[in-house]
Amino acid sequence: MGSKREFLVCLLIKKFKNQKPYQGIIPIEGDNVSEMIGNYLKNSEQIDSELILSSNSKTATGLLIQKMPSKKNETDMEWLKLSKITSQISPDILNQDNTLTIIDKLFGSLQYKVLKIKTPIFSCHCSPDRAKKILKILGGEDTKKLVSPEGKIEVKCDFCNRQFSFDQDEYSNLFI
């Protein structure tokens, strides 16, 4: 990590009177994913951001703080104070159970407002029908190459590891 890589960013703008889409090349720099994303946000969006990412065997957490546009000098002082607090946060603290307690410990000295709490849910939309669509896209000739010695084709979802097995009649009917 830490090597310069370029990331192409395209912002498509509706064409009004021969207006061309904006395109910029942003270097991806940093020693870890958190720094790379933070630098990307600063250089592409030109928004001061602080980002901390952390994970362990049970959780993956993150904290993103962005400076909101303002004309006040007070906001700059508040941002500096917030940046200082954020820079002292150990990523491991984010993996603790009670998020609101952590937020209060870290930012209790500042006026803050929790806008929304949402717990992510793992879900996968794979299904036998979607697996059959993949086989159809491959086509009859390529699909025949996937047939096992038992006369079946197995499709495994890379997201949830669910497996779908189709016998000869099932996959042959896809190409009728």
Point out the domain boundary residue: 68, 99, 115.
68
Closest residue by Cα to residue 21 from 31, 11, 33: 11
Instruction: Give SS3 for 45.
Output: helix
pLDDT digits (tens, 9 = 90+) for 36-50: 887 888 787 677 888
**In a domain? residue 121:** no
166 class by beta-carbon count within 10 Å (0-12 exposed, 13-18 middle, 19+ buried): buried
CA distance to 6, 23, 92, 95, per residue, from 3 (Å): 10, 22, 25, 28
**In a domain? residue 110:** no
The domain of 132 spans: 128-175
**In a domain? residue 98:** no
**In a domain? residue 113:** no
The pTM of this model reads: 0.52
**In a domain? residue 164:** yes
**In a domain? residue 75:** no
Point out the domain boundary residue: 68, 89, 112.
68
pLDDT class for 67, splitting at 50, 70, 90? Answer: confident
Above 70 in pLDDT, residue 13?
Answer: no
Number of structural domains (the chain) is 2
pLDDT digits (tens, 9 = 90+) for 105-162: 878 877 777 777 777 777 899 999 999 998 998 888 888 888 889 989 999 998 889 9
Point out the domain boundary residue: 68, 83, 114.
68
**In a domain? residue 37:** yes
Position 7 scores a pLDDT of 37
User: Six-digit token pair at 170?
Assistant: 């099932």
The CATH number assigned to the domain holding 139 equals: 3.90.1280.10
